[in-house]
Amino acid sequence: MTEHILPERQLKELQKAILDFMQTKGYTESADVFARETDNEGFTADPKDRHHNLLAKKWTSVIRLQRKIIELETKVAKMQEDIKSGAVVRRGARSDAEWLPRPPAQTRLVQHQAPVTRVRFHPHYTVVASASEDMTVKIWDTESASFERTLKGHTKAVQDIAFDAKGAVLVTCSADLTLRVWDIADEYKCVRTLHGHDHCVSAVSFLGADKLVSASRDKTIKVWELSTGYCIRTLSGHAEWVRSVNVTEDARLICTASNDQSVRTWDPASGECKADMRGHENVVEVAKFAPVNAYNCLRRLSGLPLPTAAEKAAAAAAANKDSSGSDAQLVDASMPANAQGLFVISGSRDKTLRLWDTSSSQLLHTFVGHDDWVRDFVFHPSGKTLISVSDDKTMRLWDLVTGRCIRTIEASEHFTTCIDLTEIKHLVATGSVDNSISLWDCR
């Protein structure tokens, strides 16, 4: 017998997709025979089933990808000929800063029955997940701009979602006081539900590969062990609802934003609050650590000196030491100039974004331009631009050297609540109170 190329689970998916196609097109005799031979005799085509039209969708996706491959191969061949003939005129490499969202939106995804609260791109695939107040999470294929599946289980609004770095797990949190863990490889099956918060769970993020951190209206931040679902630490200090949580890439620091108008950083290992940054005049909706590649721009913006060669060498040495298991603290007077967690940017209902120095808790710069609550933002991969969304229905692009708004885009017909960016296809996704998700091409 010939060995199957596909794993058993994928083989079953293909069989059901073929049966759906046969039954939909009226090939009943062939479908009956095929169903018997594949042990799928109970299968019936259903427009609500995820296998409905799946074969046609995948077929068109393959055709589109084949065309793209042919186009790229043609371009590569021409470039190789130009290089050989000396016809290439060398120019500076195209800057990442050129890849920015431009109107109009490439497509609009509509399936949710209530406001969209969060959008997140898969780290490796052309997939985006959206959370909503309709208690569901929906998965979309950005290549074909098609709806893939709905994740159900939460009993109140889903507030936040997060993929792990490998893209194997999706975690969601909800106003129903729980977090849920979904196994992507196993058809997004919910494999664990985490209980422990006493009020709405507002935000979730991965803390390294094996831990989660969540923020809640119960005024606490909790650290969870992913493998067991146990809460291993509770961080307390905020006086009101904790709205957002963010983690440095090395998982050494946590950043939170709260209704108490403060932004805080924390050491998740000790539970100690490392910095308490105050200056916003209303609820702080979101706060995130700036990536290291944005530091030079942020130093210029705030008038801080650029790191010397010696400081750069010290930063590299510290990074090597940290990777070998050192317990060195990140926030202190001798912090390397390029250590992670040096700068935080926050967005608030006071209509501003603010840049903070975490070592001194000082406000370095205020971004002014939005006409309503700032709800979310994302750093561009170049480290030179920040993209924010607001209840003023716009998406704004900010130059991190000058602090100026360089582009304003009408993002939705209602409050724009969330944003994410992927480098896979240079796409930006925004979500809105109008129940839709918009995908923006970056060029």
pLDDT for the residue numbered 52: 82
* pLDDT tens digits along 395-417: 999 999 999 999 999 999 999 99
pLDDT for the residue numbered 89: 41
Q: Is the dihedral of CA 226, 232, 237, 241 positive or negative?
A: positive
- Domain map (residue ranges) of the chain: 8-52, 96-303+336-441
Residue 42 and residue 432: Cα distance in Å, rounded?
A: 40
Residue 79 and residue 73: Cα distance in Å, rounded?
A: 10
What angle in degrees, to the nearest 10, is found between the helix axes of 8-25 and 54-85? 110
pTM: 0.77
pLDDT for the residue numbered 181: 98
pLDDT for the residue numbered 51: 80
pLDDT for the residue numbered 153: 97
User: Does CATH number 2.40.50.100 belong to domain 96-303+336-441?
Assistant: no
pLDDT for the residue numbered 69: 85
Residue 116 and residue 425: Cα distance in Å, rounded?
A: 22
Q: Spell out the alpha helix ranges (H) of 26-101.
A: 28-37, 54-85
Residue 30 and residue 36: Cα distance in Å, rounded?
A: 10
pLDDT for the residue numbered 328: 34
* pLDDT tens digits along 427-436: 999 999 999 9
pLDDT for the residue numbered 88: 45
pLDDT for the residue numbered 179: 98
Question: Which phi and psi angles does 14 have, rounded to 5°?
Answer: -65, -40
Residue 139 and residue 361: Cα distance in Å, rounded?
A: 39
Ranges under pLDDT 50 in the chain = 1-2, 88-94, 323-334
